[in-house]
Amino acid sequence: MKHLAIGICFSLAACSHKQLPPPPPSDLFEPVAVETKPGLSGLAVDDQGILFSVAERDRAAFAIDMTQRPPRVTALPIKGPADDPTLNGLDFEGIAWLGGNEFAFALEGANSAFAGVAWATRKGDALQVTRIATLPATALAIELTKNHGAEGICGTGNTVLVALENWQTRKAPGPNPRYAPVARIRDGVLEVAYLRLQSKRGKLASLDCTVAPDGSAHVWAIERHYDTTLVESFDMPAVLKPDALDLASHIEVDLTAAVAGRRNIEGIAQLRNGKLVLAVDNQGNKASGPSELLLLK
């Protein structure tokens, strides 16, 4: 186990992309447009059923009430910690609701090789970042590159799980021996397991989880690339043994054909009724259009 290093570094880079034709309708999900800043990333749900997502570069999260149509959206500006109000050089790639007014974000470097986690407290209609922790490449046992850092996050209380976008390639049986780090931070202590990816090029993009008091968790995940969109589940054990750090996922839904490369899925959350909802990042090489949530049928 390793204790965390602390580091601070945010980019307000803008993106513009050629508008593509809308994706075809699907039997697998119902799309719901939401009025937010562009580039949604990550998704979480609180105990009242309110969804939360975050704009990668606009320094704002959004509370989304899906009981209304159109959904009622409340913008929650993200404020920096007292010693660095700018959060220079970081993109917000995932969001977790930890209970009460507490949240956490997955962070990556827009112009640097950085992965980290920020914790924040909601104060009125704003989220105040209270601390930031660096996830060192040496502890993750992968190479960190710019725009490929911490991509998904989930958790509760004093425990968060973090998905990293890069991976290890190993000599192992099977066609796709790639393993993505899944970090667990509990009471300030960092542990790392490795999820075997299911596709040739997909990367972990989002997490949602139910965490037990012993730190074990049942996890929903998105594995995606332009030619891959998979909804998966896996279990994180309470104790990570040095000789048993590898995790295996199960493909729950293959959305590759339905998404057709024109929706970039960047968030997943399980609603109180057990159904899954996905967040669409509409900024990408092939993805464009309004912010959307996809309700899986």
**Residue range 131-154, pLDDT digits in tens:** 999 999 999 999 999 999 999 999
Tokens standing for 280? Answer: 């669409």
Count Cα atoms within 13 angstroms, Cβ side, for 232.
26
* Other CB atoms within 10 Å distance of the CB of residue 94: 32
What is the chain's mean pLDDT, rounded? Answer: 89
- At 8 the pLDDT is 36
Tokens standing for 84? Answer: 């660095």
pLDDT above 90 as % of the chain: 73
What is the pLDDT averaged over residues 50-59?
A: 94
Least confident of 48-57, 158-167, 249-258, 282-291: 282-291
Q: Which of 73, 66, 54, 104 is nearest to 294 (CA)?
A: 66
Q: Side chain identity at 265, as an amino acid letter?
A: I
pLDDT digits (tens, 9 = 90+) for 142-190: 999 999 999 999 999 999 999 999 999 988 777 778 999 999 999 999 9
Phi, psi of 140 (to 5 degrees): -80, -20
Residue 57 has pLDDT above 60, yes or no: yes
Write down the residue that tokens 């295996």 correspond to.
248
